Amino acid sequence: MDRAQAAAWPETTALRARPCDRLEGVVRAPGDKSISHRALILGGLAVGETTVSGLLESGDAMATAEAMTAYGAEASRGADGVWRVHGCGVGGLGEPDRVLDMGNAGTGVRLLMGVAAGHAFTSFFTGDASLRRRPMARAAAPLREMGAAFLCRGGDRLPLAVTGGRPLLPVEYRLPAPSAQVKSAVLLAGLHAPGVTTVVETERTRDHTERMLRVFGADVTVEDRGDGARAVSVAGQPELGPASIRVPGDPSSAAFPVVAAACLPGSSVRVEGVGVNPMRTGLFETLTDMGATLRFGNEREEGGEPVADIEVEGAELSGVEVPPERAPRTIDEYPVLAVAAACAAGRTVMRGLAELRLKESDRLAAVAAGLADNGVAVEERDDGLVVTGRAGRPPGGGTVATRLDHRVAMAFLVLGLLSRHGVAIDDAAPIDTSFPGFVRLMTGLGAAFSR
């Protein structure tokens, strides 16, 4: 498949990645998925018109855009590529006249559960087969404490109905396990409650919601409670003003060309405009520990988020033990980090990854099975993986079941580029969830794919 064919090729079929000698070029990763969800939602809760450039136009983000439109906040793309969201104000959304189908958007549905909890009507949510299997209990529990009512399947799974609290009550909620999505759902609900709503986290999680709330004019405070505990509070019932948001490139998407280039000696790739929020840089730190050559340049701030260009040169990598406390800052990147480990010399130990069993698939099991099927020595543990690399190209030659998981699909296509015999995946369609144009971008750097 050449570059022209790749540009017209729909990512909706089985796909094989062929071995690649080197990667070279300059690319920009698609917009950050987490920030795109939040920009659409907070734009809908502001008064006036919010502009969003660089929005991720993937299945996940579009599900959130359609949901906000169903709530009465107009969200549309202009001819200039800029999205404009006409907000209704905090508490001003209207009752949707249909079930909100969130597709595969786990972040979108959990954040919108928090928004729905603040409105005195009933919202109905569903999703695709993968999302309907994922438990929503962690997000529903604090929202119930605040006064919202839920009707759902066993395990608080979709489809579910949320009826907002009358009135919604402010709470101080201590997260039983680290989760930026649960924290964000509570803070978004707290916008609709009188007084101050607080979330206490004992392990720091992504702070995109806190950063963006401030951009829209919310009163957000962060307090160190000692022993590592951190309290994030938001004052309820504000009038949020419109904002101009530029969405940085998603570091979780940038991870795929970065890892591919880092593992191929002779490669030279620059990924421009990547978000480098400290809570998202665990992969880059681990690759550096493994001996990768990464340089960060043109550092700046956009929309309250730190951004940089990342230059990568291929090198020989060595296995490492990844500190378990790094897991919250790396959680979405472990599938492709496991691919880097398969190319490194020696053992790479990854621990503290139990949350991966609750993602779009059981990612620990999916990654372990895919590596084993391609000749890589791997040990699956309850909360982690141990991968023993061969200091170079792993064998490859297998076909991987993606299990409707976009990150599993892309990780094993990267393995195919780095392997001796290539790797096939059974379904490339889930890639559109977070990285539309993945094949085109990688082909532009010199990758080769075939059906």
User: Active-site residues: which are they?
Assistant: 332
Which token pair is 120? Answer: 């005195």
| Euclidean distance between CA atoms 222 and 226, whole angstroms | 12
CB 251 within 8 A of CB 329: no
CB 441 within 8 A of CB 250: no
Which token pair is 218? Answer: 């919310």
**Helices 106-116 and 33-45, axial angle in degrees (round to 10):** 20
Classify burial at 392, counting beta carbons within 10 Å of its beta carbon; exposed 0-12, middle 13-18, buried 19 or more.
middle
Measured CA to CA in angstroms, residue 387 lies from 41, 114, 207, 339 at distances of 39, 38, 30, 9
Between β-strands 377-381 and 384-390, what pairing exists: parallel, antiparallel or unpaired?
antiparallel
Between β-strands 399-400 and 423-425, what pairing exists: parallel, antiparallel or unpaired?
parallel
Residue with tokens 């508490």: 91
Beta bridge partners of 271: 27, 310
| Euclidean distance between CA atoms 106 and 309, whole angstroms | 28
